[in-house]
Amino acid sequence: MLDFLLSLPLHFTREHCAQGRSMLDWSVEALAFRSGVSVRAIQQFENGERELLRVSLQALSYSLEAQGLIFIPNQPPLRADNCRGATPDPRGRSDYHLLE
């Protein structure tokens, strides 16, 4: 069952990323520091210039969700302090070293 859940697509978008940072008043550098994803990769992702690996998307969403944000497809980020941890912690993934 866990494998099935992990195989589902992430619905974390570039809009979610930028809006989530804005809600938390975080710079790109702050998100990069907390997620381990490079500043350049985040900027290119938010500008629609590139797609990111799933592990990088998980690292970004996990960092924002740890601050109480939740992400629903086709909706702006929401604050839900009682909903932390919806995205699995990517640090346990075998491809974590491939963060962009």
Could you give the CA distance from residue 26 to residue 23 in angstroms, rounded to a whole number? 8
Residue 32 structural domain: 2-98
Number of domains, the chain: 1
Q: pLDDT tens string for the chain (100 positions)?
A: 667 766 767 789 999 999 999 999 999 999 999 999 999 999 999 999 999 999 999 999 999 999 999 898 889 998 886 665 566 777 777 877 778 7
**Which CATH number goes with the domain that contains 55?**
1.10.260.40
pTM (2 d.p.)? 0.80
